[in-house]
Amino acid sequence: MNVRCPQCGATFQAQVGPVTCPSCMHSFTVAPEGRPWLTLDVRRPSGELLGRMDRHLVRERLYAGALTGLEQVRPAGTAGAAAATGDWVDLNTRPEFAEVLQLIGADLGARRIAQQQLRGWRKTGSAVLPIRSSAPAERAVGRAIDDEPKSRVSWPLLVVAAVLVLGIVALLWGAVG
């Protein structure tokens, strides 16, 4: 797993347990990844710090609509070098809040695209625009699929039909006369 040194901010691969940073030789312990964070520092995507909350308060505020799911969080108490290097993660990436976000029906995809457009990351709304056809109908080459093909009756069939009609007329004329 990727680990960030709390002293110098360098990232490197390491396992759970005691680790020494290869850049600054700082020794620290890496905790298992799946542990839920009990107390969190929460901030808005704009960077405005909302304060320290436990995960139950975060869930309550999500239900109440005070939080949208786009906020960023980090474990409480990580300050100093970790705060400067940006150890904030999106609230919607934390597994302990996935169920709550699903229950409130947060459309995080559309909100994320809007935020990226506001910040200038996404130059177009390509993820939300309808798909265009490759060429307009005026410039299309070839025949459209919905055009009816012109029916061509072959000459031998017309001749056979004419002979049958004449034969029937002759029989009727002979029966009458």
pLDDT tens, per residue, the chain with 177 residues: 778 787 887 888 888 888 899 989 888 887 766 556 788 899 998 889 998 998 889 989 988 888 888 888 888 877 654 444 458 888 887 878 877 887 777 665 555 666 666 555 555 555 555 555 555 555 555 555 555 556 666 777 888 889 999 999 998 888 776
pLDDT of residue 15: 83
Residues 68 and 111 in one domain: yes
Minimal CA–CA distance to 108: which of 25, 45, 15? 45
Flag whether 134 is in a domain: no
Full-model pTM: 0.41
pLDDT of residue 148: 57
Instruction: Give the range of the structural domain holding residue 11, as residue numbers without chain letter.
Output: 1-33
Minimal CA–CA distance to 68: which of 38, 46, 36, 39? 46
Q: Are 37 and 75 in contact (CB under 8 A)?
A: yes
Domain end: 88, 119, 150, which one?
119
Q: Quote the CA–CA distance of 161 and 172 in Å, as a whole number.
A: 17
Q: How many CB atoms sit inside 10 A of residue 177's CB?
A: 5
pLDDT of residue 84: 47
pLDDT of residue 98: 75
Strands (E), 11-71: 11-13, 17-20, 27-30, 39-43, 49-54
pLDDT of residue 27: 86
Q: Are 91 and 73 in contact (CB under 8 A)?
A: yes
How many structural domains compose the chain? 2
Residue with tokens 């169920």: 99
Flag whether 94 is in a domain: yes
Q: Quote the CA–CA distance of 116 and 108 in Å, as a whole number.
A: 12
